Structure 1
Amino acid sequence: MRLLSTLLFVASSLSGLTTAIPASPPTPYKPPAGHGRNRVSKPVGRHFEIDGKVQYFAGTNCWWLGNLLNDFEVELAISQMADTGYKVVRTWGFFGVNDPTNPGQPTFYQVLNETLYPETGGLGINYGPNGIHRLDVVVSLAEKYNLQLVPTLMNNWNDFGGINIYSAAFGSNATTFYTDKKAQAAYRAYVKFIVNRYKDSPAIFAWELGNEPRCKGCDPSVIYNWAKEISRYIKRLDRKHMVTLGDEGWLCPPQGDGSYAYDCSEGVDFVKNLEIDTLDYGTFHLYPESWGYEYSWGSEWVRQHDAIGKRVGKPVVFEEYGTPINHTQLERPWQVTVVEETQVAADFIWQFGTVLPVEGVKWGDVNSIYYGTEEYEVLGFGHVEEMERKKVRRH
């Protein structure tokens, strides 16, 4: 999801967070004793084994967990998601900047700047109080509440440090990022850092290459080759956990009617990418209004990706879906389609929202369903229960 301008976030407390990045890292992250189960989820046919059981399940998105500066607030949000019954939470693992003295955001894990970090190819890691420790807190609390995470390792969009910070540091752009040697060396170095830091945590569900990667006007082979190379690289670093692309599920001819979602203009071919052997499952997103479709078309999009998953023999996850208005009225039919008409393994609504106790600050956006509201009872609690009741059919 491209973050909307109406996003509400805690803008205070930015002062005092621009201290220099420590020259040497502290002790590497280790899962606290007794937190979480020693489990690894895995694909089984078109489904996942999670918590030792092959099952359907519901998850959610919560990009902002690592952007919170207060441990209590992180725990509040994670405890509420666990209380809902969500199995998996997809969250950002990439917060980055080019100038650590003027970050413009509460947290940042990475800095891309060749002048500051010439010996590491331009990549610096923020070990300060508003740096990678914030993601440590998220991972640790996910372990405590028996949730699993999908950390997303790069953002196609500019929000909170996406491809734009690679462009600023190395002179690449939104399309050349995928083949630019310096940009890819820095991206791989960051991937290696994150994967090695958390690969022993029971809170990891899968590693995700990027949030909605696109290469507008490119041949689909660009994203395909990038996804193939990076997913193989991650598998060499971590043989236990799954890897997925994080794309929106764009289709190319002869799929569909040739309109935007099917014309291959974003340089992404869901069918071809799903065939990469080091990608364990496919993802697809749904925002009909911003794509130029009627909301009723959404159920057809779900059915089409389910059919492709069946043909390829892999799980597919309905990884993001949301509307800026009438959430229950417009999104509930898509959930019903998932439950009653498909073998879509899991779906993650965009996104979880909550009201923090400090001055009633909201964390979420116009698409969010807020914990404790009437629509959350239906789209959150209710959908979790129906996905749990759904039986996996053996063939």
Structure 2
Amino acid sequence: MPFYSSLLALCCLLWACTFGNAAATQKRAVPPGFVTTNGRSFELDGKPFAFVGANAYWLPLLTTERDVDFTMQQIQGAGVKVVRIWAFNAINATELPTALETDLTYYQASMMLDAETYTHLRTQVWNSSEWTVNDGPQGLQRLDYVVSSAEKHDLKVILTFGNNWAAYGGIELYINWIYGAENATHDIFFTDPAIIASYQRYIKTIVERYQDSSTVFAWELVNEARCTGDILSAGPNCVPGSNTLKTWYQQQSDFVRGLDANHMITAGGEGQFFWAHPEEYWFDGSLVSDYNFNGQAGEDFDGDLQLPNLDFAVYHLYPQSWYPELDFPGSNFSVEDWGLGWITAAKANKPVVIEEFGLSGLQNKTDIYPSWVQHALDTGHAIMPWQFGVLGLTEDGGNRLIQYTDQIFRGVRCNFCNTIYPNQTQVWDIFTKAAKIQDERSG
């Protein structure tokens, strides 16, 4: 039996044995307009809240209010209810001149400034572990407008505090500027007291800014935490069974709950497991232990969700990039079947969101998304594809290089081709139809 088929069968068995008779989590009272949980479901003002959402992390990078509102209109028109947005963006000193020249949105600048420049920029300045925040018109005021536009269009937002990866100022900047990258490992971020204190100061800034807003669906601790990153590798203290990430999740979720009793909190992880008998597969004549199931990533999807202040589960799904050695023409690896098994495995006594998923190639999307989306609907998951695409942006004449590979080209906002656009009718309809189903399930 191919490993993806055995995965599906094993996941079903584990679900039945592990969660079938367990008690669901209890509902927490919140003010009107705030989404909360009730067992394995979301709830808004006493009624079920099922949804199709969208990833649009780049919304605060738009420089015109017109384009923000225009994007929100398209998102709302698709039936989307929740939008996931980065509430972080940090730059290095060498990036500052370009950021000012191109009007790049940024909230943190990894540098030391003289007093005159600091006063002018009102930016987040690193001086050992000390900094101030950019709440000016090129900083958090843009995030303010995104949140206000979401409210105007009856949308909720997930605000993510940081990034495991380097893009837009990932967590390794904290390592570089507080701990020092020399001889450091990526997981120092999750254990070093000075780094944790600095990160919590930034979290506090965001939470206190929006804690009274019912537009905020949830706080997300970090995007895709792993023991390793883009640059630094994992150390000996972040290994299967070390609970390094779980300890950090508990610490940060408890910290956020201490600041805000009403909004939900989620980890933001990819959903990797730490199974006693992880999946294996054959590659190049050898039996390989599967990274997504052996705990090597640092996560323990089942164990982490026992934390009381993680209100719901999220996971991501990218088998093409996770298994490039298996996904080739003529192999017996099925991207579709593997995804179905991953969705089946993601079960909890809390609500579950397939928070990111993507496929390259329009035909792959057309062929595979229907079964993934239907399986997610059948198993009660909220659905958030990566990522929402928009047509008709006008800033800078519809052409603008933002940062990294991000750009607006001929009015189109794109990122590494997993994007879904309204003019891709067959794919777009998969999600608009799912949105209608979720809306019918809601109050």
Number of residue pairs the alignment of both structures matches:
349
Q: Which amino acid aligns with 1:208?
A: E
Please give the secondary structure, in 2, of the residue aligned with 1:57: coil
Q: 1:38 to 1:73 in 2, by over 3 A?
A: farther
Q: CA deviation at 1:243?
A: 0.3
Tell me, yes or no, if the aligned pair for 1:56 and 1:391 is still in contact at 8 Å. Answer: yes
The separation in 1 between residues aligned to 2:442 and 2:130, in whole angstroms, is 49
The aligned counterpart of 1:71 is 65
Give how far 1:336 is off: 1.1
User: Do the aligned partners of residues 182 and 140 (structure 1) sit closer, same or farther apart at CA in structure 2, a change above 3 Å counting?
Assistant: same
Pairing 1:305–2:349 present? no
Alpha-carbon displacement from aligned partner over 1:13-52 (angstroms, at most 9, x marks no partner): xxxxxxxxxxxxxxxxxxxxxxxx9510001100100364
CA distance in 2, matches of 1:109, 1:300: 39
Match of 1:368 among 419, 422, 425: 419
Q: Distance in 2 between matches of 1:237 and 1:120?
A: 25
Correspondence for 1:260? 291
- Secondary structure of the 1:124 match is coil
Asked if the contact 1:339–1:390 (Cα under 8 Å) also holds between the matched residues in 2, the reply is: no
Q: Which stretches of structure 1, 4 residues or longer, exceed 6 Å deviation after superposition?
A: none
**Shift in Å at residue 114 of structure 1?**
6.2
Q: 2:130 aligns with which of 87, 101, 122?
A: 122
CA contact (8 A) 1:88 1:150 kept: yes
Shift of 1:146: 1.0
Q: Give the deviation of 1:120 after TM superposition.
A: 8.7
Runs (5+) with no aligned partner, structure 1: 1-36
1:3 corresponds in structure 2 to none
In 1: Cα distance, 2:374 partner to 2:435 partner: 12
TM-score using structure 1 length: 0.83
| Corresponding position of 1:201 | 213
1:144 aligns with 2:144: no
SS at match of 2:63: coil
How is 1:315-330 mapped onto 2 (pairs within 5 angstroms)?
315-325=351-361, 326-330=364-368
**Distance apart, 1:123 and its partner CA:** 2.4
Residue 437 of structure 2 corresponds to 386
Normalised by the length of structure 2, the TM-score is 0.74
In 2, the alpha carbon distance for the partners of 1:302 and 1:118 equals 41
Q: Are 1:295 and 2:330 an aligned pair? A: no
Q: 1:51 to 1:98 in 2, by over 3 A?
A: farther
Would you say the 8 A contact 2:272–2:295 is kept in 1? yes
SS at match of 2:186: coil
For 2:413 and 2:66, the matched residues in 1 are separated by 14
Q: Which residue is equivalent to 1:101?
A: 96
**Whole-Å Cα distance in 1 between the matches of residues 252 and 136 of structure 2?**
28
Question: Does the 8 Å CA contact 1:68/1:74 hold for their aligned counterparts?
Answer: yes
> Do the aligned partners of residues 175 and 119 (structure 1) sit closer, same or farther apart at CA in structure 2, a change above 3 Å counting?
closer
The higher radius of gyration belongs to 2
Aligned-pair identity (%)? 34
Specify the alignment match of 1:181 in structure 2.
Answer: 193
Q: Distance in 2 between matches of 1:46 and 1:301?
A: 18
State the alpha-carbon separation in 2 of the partners of residues 96 and 379 from structure 1.
35
1:343 is aligned to 2:341: no
Structure-2 separation of matches of 1:197 and 1:373 = 37
Would you say the 8 A contact 2:85–2:160 is kept in 1?
yes
Farther off after superposition, 358-367 or 264-273: 358-367
Deviation digits for residues 297-316 of structure 1, max 9, x if unmatched?
1011001113xx1xxx2111
Task: Tell me by how many angstroms 1:320 deviates.
Answer: 0.6
Residue 31 of structure 1 corresponds to none
Cα distance, 1:256 vs structure 2: 4.4
Q: Secondary structure at the match of 1:356?
A: coil
CA distance in 1, matches of 2:442, 2:212: 31
